[in-house]
Amino acid sequence: MDLFFRIIGACIFLPFIGFYSYILGPILKLILLPGGLLLLLLILGKEDGIAPLIEAFKTKTKTREGIKT
């Protein structure tokens, strides 16, 4: 009887794990990651949140003077 309950439990548990891993997980990542980042930027404000983020994504090119040979 214990083996029967283990088999039934696995048949119920494994599809939910697959559903979460391959369907629900990516959908939640698409929603929660940008939302959390926006909330963090809202809390930090313009000087501490948005300005450093913009500065981090700016492309910086190296000049000849900065390269030491």
Domain of 47?
25-55
- Is residue 44 in some structural domain? yes
Q: In this structure, is residue 35 part of a structural domain?
A: yes
Q: Is residue 37 one of the residues assigned to a domain?
A: yes
Strand, coil or helix: what is 25? Answer: helix
Residue 41 lies in a domain: yes
Q: At residue 62, does pLDDT exceed 70?
A: no
Residue 66 lies in a domain: no
Q: What is the helix (H) or strand (E) element at residue 54, kind and residue range? A: helix 51-57
From CA 23, how far away is CA 17, in angstroms rounded? 10
Domain assignment of residue 64, yes or no: no
Give how many domains the chain has, as a whole number: 1
Asked if residue 2 is part of any domain, the answer here is: no
Residue 61 or residue 58, greater confidence = 58
CA 26/CA 54 separation, integer angstroms: 26
pTM of the model: 0.54
Say if 63 falls within a structural domain: no
